[in-house]
Structure 1
Amino acid sequence: MTAEPQHTWPVPPPNGYTVDDLFALPDLPPHTELIDGSLVFVSPQRDFHTLVMYLLESGLRRTVPERFRVRREMAVVLDPHNVPEPDILVLRAEAVRDRRQTRYEASDVVLAVEVVSPDSEARDRDSKPGKYAAAGIPHFWLVEMAGDKDHPVVHEYALDPVTKEYVPAGIHRERLKTTVPFTVDIDLTEVDRL
């Protein structure tokens, strides 16, 4: 009889993990996030998630001005106990220091994008947008799967500087066309051809 493999999971400190802990703990699974001082392990994604990330990333890269850069699944330090990995982010070009960089500061990010997954619905819809807004990230897109053909629907939000909360700025069903943070025009139905 074969013994089950033993996993040794790190025991959290009394006040939760910090940014420094996240980047110092050995052998964490890829794309581990830090949310409210807790480690969050990412589950396997749906095909929809991968296709939409590719579609949005390539669409943003086509028109991104020189002053910005597009990244996917990179750690963003919001505060000492919150380091999520937005599915896609647009950041200021000067924030990119070298190719070994593992994280960015919230102040460098101008757009955070989350594609909703079954295992992370509450985090993607409730927790993360509030944390991104509180950290001052000016723009946020939430992407849902909808309709008979499971097409992406992009909910666009802008930061209200007074309340530090996101306010709806648009809903995009077949075409994502906006001028903030720069001019973007992405045919969302392209997902059928990927």
Structure 2
Amino acid sequence: MTAVPEWMRPPRLEGWFADDLDHLPEAPRHTELIDGALVFMMSPQRSWHARIVTALVVALAEQAPAELEVEREMTIRLDERNRPEPDALVVTAPFDPDRTFYTPDQVLLVVEVVSPESAHRDRTVKLRKYAEAGIPHYWRVEDEGGSPVIHAYELDEPTRSHVPTGIYRHELRISKPFPLELDLGQLVPGRSTPS
């Protein structure tokens, strides 16, 4: 058994804080902070996941209004103990080449593409945390027999929770957070959605 690297040891009894992520150069790419604990993407990334994320980022960037920015794999500092890294996000903040995170008030839409190792966090933990932070829109993308299915949510302000607004299997046509049309069968080249 090998020893735990020194950088993995929490700097204090309470664990890690959001700002600590900027001072962990040894941490693997895609390190998140959930409730003061570091979460790493340990399993290899599936090609399906990578292609969906890329296709969604491109489609969102092509259709988003000029005042919005589309990012891939940037953390959101929800509070001092939570800094998740969604697969894609649409933000209202201008581009800053030195930025390492966004704050919830700058985020309009968060997209999580579900992987086997992230399924519980994406379906429950992050859904709740993004809503509590006030992020208006959340999409969870599931793999249904090789085809992408988008579960869309919108923030219900009085309850500070996300409510489902639709499940999209073949195409997505929405007006919020901005008018958008997606042919979901085209998100994975060579793959079409089932009839």
Whichever residue aligns with residue 143 of structure 1, its letter is: V
Q: Which residue of 1 is the match for residue 151 of structure 2? A: 155
Deviation digits for residues 39-80 of structure 1 (CA, Å, limit 9, x no counterpart):
001132111111111121111111110121100100110000
> TM-score w.r.t. structure 2 length?
0.91
* Structure 2 counterpart of 1:61: 61
Residue 38 of structure 1 pairs with residue 34 of structure 2: no
Shift in Å, 1:26: 3.3
Alignment of 1:13-52 (within 5 A): 13-43=12-42, 44-52=44-52
Give me the whole-angstrom Cα distance separating, in 2, the residues matched to 1:182 and 1:49. Answer: 24
Structure 2 residue aligned with 1:187: 183
The answer to whether the 8 Å contact 2:114/2:141 transfers is: yes
State percent identity of aligned pairs: 45
| Structure 2 counterpart of 1:80, one-letter code | E
Q: SS state of the match for residue 119, structure 1? A: coil
Name the SS for the 2:118 alignment partner. Answer: helix
The corresponding residue for 1:74 is: 74
- Deviation at residue 156 of structure 1 after TM alignment: 0.5
User: Could you tell me how far apart the structure 2 residues matched to 1:170 and 1:32 are?
Assistant: 30
Say if 2:56 and 2:187, in contact at 8 Å, map to a contact too. Answer: no
Matches within 5 A, 1:40-189: 40-43=39-42, 44-92=44-92, 95-96=93-94, 98-147=96-145, 150-189=146-185
For structure 1, which runs of at least 5 residues remain unmatched after alignment? none
- Residue 191 of structure 1: CA displacement? 3.1
RMSD, matched Cα: 1.5
* C-alpha distance in structure 2 between counterparts of 1:64 and 1:26, whole Å: 33
Task: Give the AA of the match of 1:17.
Answer: W
CA deviation map 1:74-110 (0-9, x unaligned): 0110000000011000000xx2352121111111000
2:5 to 5, 8, 16: 8
**Mind listing any 5+ residue stretches in structure 2 that lack a counterpart?**
191-195
Q: SS in structure 2 opposite 1:156? A: strand
After the TM superposition, which segments of 4 or more aligned residues of structure 1 sit over 3 Å from their partners?
4-7
**Residue 24 (structure 1) shift:** 1.4
CA distance in 2: counterparts of 1:166 and 1:118, whole angstroms? 22
TM-score, reference length from structure 1: 0.91
